[in-house]
Amino acid sequence: MNQNAHEPASLPVPAADALDASAALAAHIREAISQAGGWLPFDRYMELALYTPALGYYSGGARKFGRRAEDGSDFVTAPELSPLFAQTLARALAQALTASGTSRLIEFGAGTGRLAAGILSALDALGIPLQSYAIVELSGELRERQRATIDALGGALASRVTWLDALPDHFEGVVIGNEVLDAMPIALYARTAGVWRARGVSVDEAGAFRFDDRPLDAPEGQTGKEDAALLAEIDTQIDPGGDYIAETHSAAAAFTRTVCSMLVRGAAFFIDYGFPRGEYYHPQRSQGTLMCHYRHRAHGDPFLYPGLQDITAHVEFTRIAEAGVETGADLLGYTSQARFLMNAGITEALGEIDPNDVARFLPAANAVQKLMSEAEMGELFKVIAFSRGIDGAIDAFARGDRSHTL
C-alpha cells in the first residue's frame, strides 16, 4: 500500500515512528474489514481510527492539543486559548452545584488538564466547597499531561482530582464535556438519484481505504429505526432530486443517555460546535460536516494517517436534546457559546485585568474576542445542559436561550 495515497500536498509528513504506528493501525483496520466480509460501516471505521487501544488517535500517544503545529499538536480548544474560559465556566458550574446541593464534578476528555485546573482554582476562589473532581480520559499520554498540569496547583486542590476507568452507576454533582460529542463516531449515509445508501469503508486492490456505499436493504447496510426515521425526515427538507451526504449521531446520543441516566441530582454541560436539526440538514450542506485535523490544518480525508489525525463532525444538537430528555432529565438550556459566556460574566472577568498592563490585557482581550466572535467560536460553538433537581434556570442561560430551536 502507498502510505501517502491519500496525502493532501499541503500537509506535513509525519516522523518515521509515527508512520510506523499509523501503518500498524491501518493493518489492524484492514483485518477488521476482512473479518467483517470486506466492508465496515463508517462509524466502526471511525471508532477504530480514534479509539483502538494504544494505536487510535485518542487512545494512543500522539500529541493533540496545543497552540501551533510546531508543538506537534493538531488543534486548539477554548481552555488552551484563555484561562478566562475556565474561570467563566466555573461561575456557571458553581451555580449548578449550589442549586443542586452537590459538591462533585466529572469531566470527560480533559485534554491537557487546563480546564480542570482553571475550574478548580476558580471554584476555590469563589468559596465553593468541592469534594472531588474526577476525570474520564482514555489516552495515557493525556492523563500524564493532565497530572502534570494539576499537580502544579499544589496539594490541596490537586488532591481532589482522580481519574476514572469506568463511570459510576449513579452520580450526584455536575458533569462537563468540552468538545467531547464531536469526537463520537458518526454514521454516514449518501443519497444518489433519490436513494439512500449506507456509506462504509472497504479496501481497494492496492490495500488503500475507500468509501463504499451499500443499499440499506443489504444485510451490512441496514440501519436502526432512529436513523431510518431521520433519513426520511431529511428527505422532506432537501432537494428531492439532489445528491446528499448525511451524518447521524447514534453514539453521541447513546453517550448523552448514559450520562443523563447516571445523573441522580445535578447538571451536565456539553460544549461543542454544531447546529439544531433544522440547520444541520440544510439543503446547502450537501457534503456533510465530516472534517479531519492534522497539525492545525483541516482537510476532508479520513483515511490519511490513521491514528495520527483527528476525525470529527459537527454535532446535531436536536438529537442530543432528545436523548437527554428521554431519560427524564430536564433540558436546562441551549445557547451559543458567546451568549453563555457573556451571561456567565466573561466581560467582567476580562475587566478585572488592568488595561494599562498591555502585556496581559491585549492577549486576554484577543482570546476573548476569538471565544465570543460570530466569525470565530462564539456562534458556531453551542452549550447544552441537562439537569435533575435544579428548579428554574441558571444565569448562563437566562438570556438568549435557544431551546425552542431544537
Report the CATH number that the domain containing residue 103 is assigned in CATH. 3.40.50.12710
Q: Classify residue 372: in a domain, yes or no.
A: yes
Q: Are 226 and 289 in contact (CB under 8 A)?
A: no
Q: How many domains does the chain have?
A: 1
pLDDT the model gives residue 139: 80
Angle between helices 317-326 and 250-262 (to 10 degrees): 40
- Quick one: pLDDT at residue 4? 42
The structure's pTM equals 0.93
Question: Would residue 394 count as lying in a domain?
Answer: yes
| 3 state SS for 244-277 | EEEEECHHHHHHHHHHHHHEEEEEEEEEEEEECH
Span of 52-61, 64-73, 171-180, 290-299 with lowest mean pLDDT: 64-73
| pLDDT bracket for residue 315 (50, 70, 90) | very high
Q: How confident is the model at residue 217 (pLDDT cuts 50, 70, 90)?
A: confident
Nearest to 158 by CA among 132, 127, 139, 128: 132
Q: Higher pLDDT residue, 224 or 210? A: 210
Confidence of residue 199 (pLDDT cuts 50, 70, 90): very high
Its domain, for residue 93, covers 78-183+252-280+314-405
**263 in a structural domain:** yes
Q: How does residue 215 score in pLDDT terms, banded at 50, 70 and 90?
A: very high
Residue 1's pLDDT is what? 35
Is 16 domain-assigned?
A: no
Residue 88 lies in a domain: yes
* Cα dihedral 97→100→102→106 (10° resolution): -60
Cell numbers 438570556 label which residue? 399
pLDDT in tens, 338-371: 999 999 999 999 999 999 999 999 999 999 999 9
pLDDT attached to residue 309: 92
Q: Is residue 58 part of a domain?
A: no
**Is the CB of residue 294 less than 8 Å from the CB of residue 238?**
no
pLDDT score recorded for residue 8: 62
Q: In this model, does residue 195 exceed pLDDT 80? A: yes
- Residue 215 domain flag: no
pLDDT tens figures, 48-88: 999 999 999 988 766 554 444 445 455 678 888 999 999 99
